[in-house]
Amino acid sequence: MTANIKAKASKLKSAAIKARGKPSALARAVKKSRPVAKAKGGVKKARPAANVKFKKSARTPKAAPAKSPARAAKKAAPAKPKAIARRVLKKAVKVSLKKTAKPSANKRKPAATPKGSAPKKRTAKTPLITVLCGGCSSEREVSLVSGQKIFEALAAQFEAVLRVLDAHVLPEDLDPAQTVIFPAFHGTWGEDGGVQTLLESRGFAYAGCGPLSSARCMDKIQTKAAARACALPVVDEIFFEASAKPAAQDVVARLGDAVVVKPVDEGSSVGLHMVQGAAELEKIFGQIANGRWMIEPRIVGREFAVGVLDGAAMGIVEIVPTGGVYDYAHKYTPGSTRYEFPAKLDDQTARRMRAAAQTAFAACECRDFSRVDFMMDGRGQFYLLEINTIPGLTATSLLPKSASCSGLDFPALAKRMVEPAIARWRKRR
One DSSP character per residue, 143-192 reads HHHHHHHHHHHHHTTS-EEEEEESSSS--TT--TTTEEEEE---STTTSS
Q: What phi and psi values does residue 308 have, to the nearest 5 degrees?
A: -125, 125
How many C-beta atoms lie closer than 10 Å to residue 338's C-beta?
A: 10
The CB density around residue 271, as the number of other CB atoms within 10 Å, is 16
* Active-site residue (options: 386, 397, 402, 404): 386
Catalytic residue among 307, 373, 402, 404: 373
Q: Which of 332, 367, 370, 383 is catalytic?
A: 332
Separation CA 194–CA 190 (nearest Å): 6
Q: What is the crossing angle of helices 277-287 and 248-255, to 10°?
A: 130
Sequence-separated contacts (24+) of 74-77 with Cβ below 8 Å: 74/1, 74/4, 77/1, 77/41, 77/43
Query: Of 388, 397, 402, 404, which residue is the catalytic one?
Result: 388
Check 33, 143, 213, 268 and give the catalytic one: 268
Residue 290 falls in the annotated catalytic set? no
Active-site option among 20, 140, 302, 371:
371
In b/e form, how buried is each residue of 65-82, taking b as 16+ CB within 10 angstroms? eeeeeeeeeeeebebebb
Give me the sheet containing 292-297, strands edge to edge.
Answer: 238-241, 292-297, 258-263, 273-276
Q: Determine whether 172 is an active site residue.
A: no
Q: Is 388 a catalytic residue?
A: yes
Q: Which of 392, 397, 402, 404 is catalytic?
A: 392
Q: How far apart are CA 210 and CA 194, in angstroms?
A: 10
Give the other-Cβ count within 10 Å of 159's Cβ. 16
Is residue 373 part of the annotated active site? The answer reads yes
- Give the H or E element holding residue 47: strand 44-47
Candidates 139, 192, 265, 303; catalytic one: 139
Q: Ramachandran region of residue 358, left (φ > 0), alpha (ψ -120 to 50) or beta?
A: alpha
Active-site annotation holds for 383:
no
Is 106 a known active-site residue? no
Residue of 411, 357, 337 lying closest to 151 (CA atoms): 411
Q: Is 117 a catalytic residue?
A: no
- Active site residue ranges: 139, 268, 332, 371, 373, 386, 388, 392
